[in-house]
Amino acid sequence: MNTQKFMIAKELVRRGRAGEPGLTQLEALTQFGVGRLASRIFDLKMDGYIIDRKMVPVQKANGETAEVASYSVDPKCVCHWRCAYAGVFLRAVQLSDLSVFIEQDTEYGWKEEPGTRRSADRVLEHEELLDIAKTYKAAQK
């Protein structure tokens, strides 16, 4: 499945893990043929990815300076997916080191559930993160 969204997600994660700058529209167009990066970013956010946008200065052909959007993922937290069951809010979180764990929403904020951390061999799709949260909740009953 080599969709534009998948290629952009993979590149953002790679750059985040390597500490490289974010991805701009021009880079997305030249490297991946993505003409509407903002749309792919929106799609990824809807899939649970945590993506930051920063405006960075670039030099125009006439010598003037302009600002363009540069998108990046938090190097610590790549994506998460929240779900609610019987009033309990859970989220499966995947970090940039590809480890995955469950957090529960408490009155003091999100707290990692003990014994839920495991490693993955790749960045998981949002459906997979949701399944992890559902499986965890079902096991708690």
Helices (H), 3-125: 4-18, 25-32, 37-46
Give the pLDDT of the chain (141 residues) as one tens digit per residue: 458 888 898 898 788 878 889 999 999 999 999 999 999 998 888 776 778 899 999 999 999 999 999 999 876 665 665 665 556 677 788 777 788 888 887 777 778 888 889 898 887 776 787 788 778 877 776
CB 45 within 8 A of CB 73: no
What is the model's pLDDT at position 8? 92
What is the model's pLDDT at position 86? 56
Taking residue 139's Cβ as centre, other Cβ atoms within 10 Å add up to 7
Q: Where are the domains of the chain?
A: 4-73, 77-140
Question: Cα separations (Å) of 61 from 44, 66, 104?
Answer: 32, 10, 50
